[in-house]
Chains A and B, each alone.
Chain A
Amino acid sequence: MSGDYLVASFASEGAFAIACERLSAEGLGELYPFTPKPIMADRPISSISLFAFVTGMVGVVGGFAMEADANIIAYPLDIGGRPKLSWPSFVPIAFEIGMLLAVIGVIVSFFLFAGVGRLYSPIDDCDLLRRALSDRWVIALRPRSPESSRRARDLCESLGAAEIEEFRHEMESPRSGGAVASQL
């Protein structure tokens, strides 16, 4: 999908937040906000913690099972008369494997859920976005109509946008954009 986009950058978080709210309330189109730092009012998404818990538990249970299988079935050795299933000795390795898999699980799930890993997006061609991870609060709006675009521009100007750019290109996938817009 291609079309016209209006990209506005703001120097302050306050103006950006108001602009997001107003543009969203007026239903001028889909919003794609980009910020130089996390917005503290946004609650972190918990699905990653579930993923981390599952991968961590797989590590703990799998690690313990591996140790038990190796020392009971595959290669049983009498070490100082200890029982074959000396389970307290198996706990540290199971714990370490669990922690390691949980860390890997967090990072993999972040890449999957946050849409990270896609090195190029058409939005990268927008000059204003270059400052989104430095010192500007950027809103990319996909207006519903030329009238919406004009109204959005006026609104952004009135709210003190530092720069406004009309951007004609294919934007990020509607899935992630929709998710962003719905959370505003």
Chain B
Amino acid sequence: MTEQICGVVLHNRVAFWWIVALAIALLLVLALILAVSWLFIAGIGIWGVDWPVVWGFAIINYVWWIAIASGGTFISALFYLAGVEWRNSLNRIAETMTIFAVACAGIFPILHLGRPWLFYWLFPYPNTMTLWPQFRSPLLWDFFAILAYVVSSVLFWYFGLIPDFGTMRDRAHKSGVRVLYGILAAGFRGSRVQWRHYRAAYGILAAIMAPLVVSVHSIVGLDFAGAATVGWHSTQFPPFFVFGALLSGFAMVLLLIVPLRRLLGFQDFITGRHFDVLTKLLLVSSLCVDYSYMMEAFMTYYGDDEAERLSFEDKIAGALAPIYWMTIVLNVLLPQIFWLRRARVSEALIMLVSFGVIIGMWCERYQIVVMSLRRPRIPSAWGDFAPTIWDWLTLFGTVGLFAAGLLIALRLVPMISMFEMRDMMTEGKGKDER
């Protein structure tokens, strides 16, 4: 097992598929650099945002990426605390996904500021103007939540890698590679005392990360719920966003593990059982999201707010209704196929549904952001939104950034947690022997 997982990084030659995928991803990153450079020169007027739709792609994409990021933390932290052994094959891929998804997410609020080079004004630092940020604003809560989540996710990911970096150090043949992994392993040698501290620390980190990820999504939900905007001002938003995060996170993990297990030769570690469990989880989170969609409709008609009713009817039957119904089809109807066991272990179907959910979640974010803003309370203020080429380039550019980061990580870090797999295999062996 150790040889096979280390071999992907230490011995395997660079595969053709990897070069092609990285080239495509880097092209998209180039598009991102171009789009952001032009944004810095010309300002956010190059985007489709205008009054009344002042939150456009930047916020749609931010919420979409941060939700995807959360899947890794849920699998890694929450299921570690639950003591489920199947996570050991998936947690490294999921955490790596989190790191790059959260990096993509973090770009958007900064770009959205209008003067992105002054983003550090969000940080409460002593300044000559004695000017402090507004701590009562959910948007500032967001800044702290993202900051805490980004730093914590990177540290949690690195911490989980320390023993495996030690293994890589000990198995590397080239001295440069040994030095690199030696530095990353930070002198971890697997002594009994080190392991005792390690287990304690990992458990505590998992216990911190689990509520942290829930809080991040609740705060993202509060960004919306805190505003008195039609369609947003709802108490269900924080849990609704957590459900959405679970759904898109699980979908992205599935979307990644189906091809990766074959490309990296991990069929022995990521099996049909993992697909079965993850697709069940995807189904459950889809049902939670379905409940939120139903509650949105119910509360609109249960209350007597005319503006809410008009906004909701615009969603389901207005000019942008296809986006709403696409959300329903992709997030609500499509995952229902996973009630069937045959569908839960069919790689083609898993890819199809997961990809559908990822698109569906983006559509959901689109309808939350744009459809609410285009129909404010006063009809004379109604407006519209049309994304520009720069909006699309920025979105696909971050897809490239995510893919490039993940592809580079595949060549540098073991994608399955070796020490946890070792533990699981010995446990299994012990049970067999008994």
* A residues in contact (CB < 8 Å) with B: 13, 32-40, 42-46, 48-49, 52, 56, 66-67, 70-71, 74-75, 77, 79, 82, 86, 89-90, 92-93, 95-97, 99-100, 102-104, 106-107, 109-111, 113-121, 123-124, 129-135, 172, 176, 179-180, 183-184
Residue among A33, A37, A70, A74 with the most chain B CB within 10 A?
A: A37
1/0 per residue B149-190: CB within 8 Å of A? 001100110010011001100110000000000110011111
**Is B145's CB within 8 Å of the partner chain A?**
yes
Known contacts A92-B144, A114-B194, A130-B170; decide if A123 and B152 are in contact (CB<8 Å): no
**Is B428's CB within 8 Å of the partner chain A?**
no
Q: Is the CB of B426 within 8 A of A114?
A: no
Q: Is the CB of A180 within 8 A of B187?
A: no
Closest Cβ of chain A to B144, distance in Å, is: 4
The one of B170, B195, B203, B209 that contacts A134, using a Cβ cutoff of 8 Å: B170
A118–B156 Cα distance when bound, in Å, is 20
Q: Is the CB of A100 within 8 A of B187?
A: no
Closest Cβ of chain B to A132, distance in Å, is: 5
Q: Is the CB of B189 within 8 A of A123?
A: yes
**Is B135's CB within 8 Å of the partner chain A?**
yes
Chain B residues, Cβ within 8 Å of A99: 148, 152, 208, 211-212, 215
Closest Cβ of chain A to B153, distance in Å, is: 9
The one of A13, A79, A133 that contacts B134, using a Cβ cutoff of 8 Å: A79
Chain B residues, Cβ within 8 Å of A77: 134
Chain B residues, Cβ within 8 Å of A70: 124, 132-133, 135
What are 12 A-to-B residue pairs whose CB atoms are below 8 Å?
Answer: A35-B190, A35-B195, A37-B423, A52-B208, A70-B135, A93-B140, A99-B215, A100-B147, A103-B155, A176-B193, A180-B191, A183-B196
Closest Cβ of chain B to A62, distance in Å, is: 11
Known contacts A34-B189, A38-B195, A38-B423; decide if A103 and B156 are in contact (CB<8 Å): yes
A75–B198 Cα distance when bound, in Å, is 44
Known contacts A75-B130, A121-B187; decide if A42 and B124 are in contact (CB<8 Å): no
The one of B144, B186, B188, B194 that contacts A93, using a Cβ cutoff of 8 Å: B144
**Is B42's CB within 8 Å of the partner chain A?**
no
**Is B141's CB within 8 Å of the partner chain A?**
yes
1/0 per residue B192-213: CB within 8 Å of A? 1111111111011100110110
Q: Is the CB of B190 within 8 A of A133?
A: yes
A-B contact count (CB 8 A): 194
Q: Is the CB of A131 within 8 A of B170?
A: yes
Q: A38-B198, A45-B197, A75-B131 are in contact. List 18 more A-B contacts (CB 8 A).
A: A34-B190, A35-B195, A42-B195, A44-B199, A49-B204, A56-B208, A92-B222, A93-B144, A96-B144, A96-B219, A102-B204, A116-B186, A116-B188, A117-B186, A119-B187, A133-B166, A176-B191, A183-B193
**Is B396's CB within 8 Å of the partner chain A?**
no
**Is B136's CB within 8 Å of the partner chain A?**
yes
The one of B170, B187, B211, B222 that contacts A133, using a Cβ cutoff of 8 Å: B170
Closest Cβ of chain A to B142, distance in Å, is: 9
A121–B189 Cα distance when bound, in Å, is 9
Chain A residues, Cβ within 8 Å of B426: 13, 37
Chain A residues, Cβ within 8 Å of B144: 92-93, 96-97
A48–B205 Cα distance when bound, in Å, is 10
Q: Is the CB of B171 within 8 A of A48?
A: no
Q: Is the CB of A110 within 8 A of B198?
A: yes
Chain B residues, Cβ within 8 Å of A96: 141, 144-145, 147-148, 212, 215, 219
Known contacts A102-B208, A134-B171; decide if A90 and B189 are in contact (CB<8 Å): no
Nearest CB to that of B135 among chain A residues?
A67
Closest Cβ of chain A to B233, distance in Å, is: 15
Chain B residues, Cβ within 8 Å of A45: 196-197, 200
A48–B193 Cα distance when bound, in Å, is 13
**Is B419's CB within 8 Å of the partner chain A?**
yes
**Is B422's CB within 8 Å of the partner chain A?**
yes
Q: Is the CB of A36 within 8 A of B190?
A: yes
A108–B72 Cα distance when bound, in Å, is 23
Q: Is the CB of B194 within 8 A of A116?
A: yes
Nearest CB to that of A179 among chain B residues?
B193
A111–B190 Cα distance when bound, in Å, is 13
A183–B124 Cα distance when bound, in Å, is 46
The one of A32, A44, A135 that contacts B200, using a Cβ cutoff of 8 Å: A44
